[in-house]
Amino acid sequence: MREYARVAAAVPAVKPAHPAANLEGVKRLFDKAAAEGVGAVVFPELCLTGYTCADLFYMPSLLAGAEEALRLFIEHTAGSAGTLAAVGLPVRTGGRIFNCAALVAGGRLYGVVPKTYLPSTHEFYESRWFASALESTAGEVSLAGFTVPFGNDLVFAAGDAVYGVEICEDMWTANPPSTRLTLRGANVILNLSASNELVGKTDYRRSLVSGQSARCLAAYVYAGAGVGESTTDLVFGGHALIAENGTILAEGSRFGRDERLAVADVDIGFLDFERSANYAFRNAATTVGDVRRIAVPAPADAENSSGLRRRVDPHPFVPGADAERSERCEEILAIQSTGLATRLQAIGCKDVVVGLSGGLDSALALIVCVEAFRRLGLDMSGIHAYTLPGFGTTSRTKGNAGRLCEGLGVALETIDITPMARRHLADLGRDESVKDITYENTQARGRTYILMDKANQVGGILVGTGDLSELALGWCTYNGDHMSMYGVNAGVPKTLVKYIVGWYAEQNANVREALLDILATPVSPELLPAAADGTIAQVTEDKVGPYELHDFFLYHFLRRGASKEKILRLAKIAFAGEYEDAAIAKWLDVFMRRFYTQQFKRSCMPDGPKVGSINLSPRGDWRMPSDVAPQ
């Protein structure tokens, strides 16, 4: 399938009531869009005449001039069959004048869509000149030498991209035409608009565009009338927006006096994946009427023609803006601590046990415990923290665990598991010099065994530390650190764990030094002996690969339904200059193999709160057989 559709919102220079002059600007931007491999470009409302012609819309000369401009534009597109254009003009048919979008490609007119909802309050009075699509009784119209379908029930299919059209006010109503069009197969909505500028209106407009794209699980391409419109009473800024399922992909600047084109590649594959997995969307489709589907020329694949025209975020779980990231960290910690507090309250428990390694995940788990106790007004003496040094524990991690507990006002007890591990290896008839998986897991299971019993001893529950990334990779010891009585980090990917811990360090001076050093410490299970100089010898990312890559793979695989091949292409773009292509491919193979072979660990994972759009709980988000062959 063709994964991406390149779309554009065009804002040409406009002179009210001068179709011939307006045509030139439309032609220039169309040519630019076609040269950039755009599959569909939308122009502003009534762009061939200008939106602000007022009673001149009655004049036969203006209507004829608009039709002639459309005819010439259709001829102009003859050499660009792969670019569909939606241009605005007034159309008289059946004794009425309609505010319309004409859909043109490759020297042909394919259909005409009239506006459904006409604003006629305050500064708008469109019903003075135009009739609504609801008043039309004809299913087709003769225009510019073509007889084509006419109505607000048209969708235009260009291969996998299916375009629906609505005009300005149609989006602002309680029942936008785009809702029906998308429920009947349109995955990209083109909106020809003439929304004027008012204080605060830009943010509202942006939220409407992004919100409608999210509700419709679609892309939304919006082109607003520019500054050339009459300023008798209103000012137009030429706002151009492209959104995809609630996310703004591209936005043009307002109030510019030059012609502008906003371009982005929308992920058709992702949108179709979202719809197939969304029962409510499928169910809603049974409540709307049919549409007429019109085939139009399909362009070349956008990604292969000139590279991808959208940003590929290397850290999709982590907001880029400082303020948004801080807000996200605060919210996630609130979800985690509320989940734990509610569980404790529900079972009548005032004690928790948590094992501290001096690493990131256990640090976050302890912070969650502290915040949960604060929410419940419980004494911190109910938090029982243990550090359980073994064969590979370093003084750095053990020291950080102690400093963190001291800063949080939590008592820490040390239980050396080395004697127990040696006895167990001896019982197994194992030589301690053999540093294999049995050697490592003897320690991991031994720690969990002790922590579980400590929870019984104090009448509490064991709080798990494992995160979402580890669950995805199966990077945990079955019935070892894999198990707990409530896994507070189960919904948090490793890349985000780092930011939450860093954010908490900024907010709390008493633990800042300890947390910053924890952040600087290599991620390690510390199950193999330390290096000769006492530093960590066993680094997790040397074994399984960089977590930032795995989180990228996880996001695109589960959240966006991307194939392995697509993930690889996107990762090469996102991490260009940071990782060699061969390294990305290698670690993607590791991710896929481990994700499929480690499902058995996720099938019996403990309860834990979901905090984002991806979760691996077998009770909610992810169900998969445990014996599926790696893909």
Across 603-620, average pLDDT: 94
45's CB contacts (< 8 A; 6+ apart) are 51, 88, 99, 115, 167, 168, 192, 193, 194, 225
494: in domain: yes
Q: Is there a single domain that holds both residue 414 and residue 379? A: yes
Q: Which entry of 45, 169, 303, 526 is annotated as an active-site residue?
A: 45
Residue corresponding to tokens 């303020």: 323
DSSP letter (8 states) at residue 555: I
Final residue of a structural domain among 494, 527, 542: 542
Q: Are residues 281 and 332 in the same domain?
A: no
Cα-flanking dihedrals φ and ψ of residue 506, to 5°? Answer: -65, -30
Rg (CA), the chain: 30
Does residue 566 lie in a domain region?
Answer: no
Catalytic pick from 53, 100, 168, 349? 168
For residue range 515-535, what is the model confidence (pLDDT) as tens digits?
Answer: 999 999 999 998 899 998 989
**What pLDDT was estimated at residue 599?**
96
**Contact present, 15 and 21 (Cβ < 8 Å):** yes
The whole-number pLDDT of residue 304 equals: 57
pLDDT tens-digit map of 80-139: 989 999 999 999 999 999 999 999 999 999 999 999 999 988 888 899 999 999 999 889
Asked whether residue 120 is domain-assigned, the answer is: yes
State what percent of residues in the chain have pLDDT above 70.
99
pLDDT of residue 256: 86
Q: Tell me if residue 216 is catalytic.
A: no
Check which CATH number belongs to the domain holding 87 and give it. Answer: 3.60.110.10
**244-260 residues labelled b (16+ CB within 10 A) or e (exposed):** bbbebbbbbebeeeebb
| Residue 53 annotated in active site | no
The pLDDT, as a whole number, for residue 283 is 86
The rounded mean pLDDT for the chain is: 94
**Is 142 in the same domain as 285?**
yes
- Same-domain status, 121 and 261: yes
User: What is the structure's pLDDT at 131?
Assistant: 95
Domain assignment present for 556? no
Whether residue 575 lies inside any domain: the answer is: no
Query: 396 and 521 in contact (C-beta within 8 Å)?
Result: yes
pLDDT band at 1 (very low <50, low <70, confident <90, very high): very low
Instruction: Indicate whether 368 and 278 sit together in one domain.
Output: no
Cα 626 from Cα 624, distance rounded (Å) = 6
Shortest CA distance to 89 belongs to which of 192, 226, 242, 197?
A: 192
Q: 212 and 176 in contact (C-beta within 8 Å)?
A: yes
Cβ count near 536 (within 10 Å): 21
Which of 514, 542, 570 terminates a domain? The answer is 542
CATH number at residue 538: 3.40.50.620
Position 363 in a domain:
yes
Measure Cα distances from 504 to 374, 408, 489, 508 in Å: 15, 12, 15, 6
pLDDT at 81: 87
Same domain, 375 and 299: no
Share of the chain above pLDDT 90, in %: 87
Does residue 523 lie in a domain region?
yes
In degrees, rounded to 5, the angle at the alpha carbon of residue 39 between the alpha carbons of residues 138 and 147 is 25
Residues 199 and 84 reside in one and the same domain: yes
Predicted pLDDT at 410: 97
Look at residue 481 in the predicted model and tell me its pLDDT. 94
Domain end position, chosen among 280, 305, 330? 305
**Distance separating alpha carbons of residues 309 and 344, to the nearest angstrom:** 49
- Same structural domain for residues 354 and 256? no
Residue 271 confidence (pLDDT) above 90: yes
Number of domains composing the chain: 2
372 and 287 within one domain: no
Asked if residue 296 and residue 370 are part of one domain, the reply reads no
Please check whether residue 141 lies inside any domain of the structure: yes
pLDDT tens digits, 221-250:
999 999 989 999 989 999 999 999 999 999
pLDDT at res. 631: 75
Structural domain including 372 reads: 322-542
> For every residue of 167-227, which 3-state class applies, written as one string?
ECHHHHCCCCHHHHHHHCCCCEEEEEECCCCCCCHHHHHHHHHHHHHHHCCCEEEEEECCC
Q: Looking at the predicted structure, is the pLDDT value of residue 276 above 70?
A: yes
Geometric angle at alpha carbon 533, from 528 and 538, rounded to 5°: 25
Write out pLDDT tens, residues 282-338. 888 777 889 999 999 988 765 555 689 999 999 999 998 899 999 999 999 999 999
For residues 36 and 110, state if they share a domain: yes
Q: Which of 312, 300, 308 is nearest to 161 (CA)?
A: 300
Q: What does the pLDDT look like over 362-416, one tens digit per residue?
A: 999 999 999 999 999 999 999 999 999 999 999 999 999 999 999 999 999 999 9
Mean pLDDT for the stretch of residues 165-172: 95
Mean pLDDT of 542-551: 96
The reply to whether 263 and 366 lie within a common domain is no
Find, among 503, 496, 492, 479, the residue nearest to 605 by Cα: 479
Among 47, 67, 115, 405, the active-site one is: 115
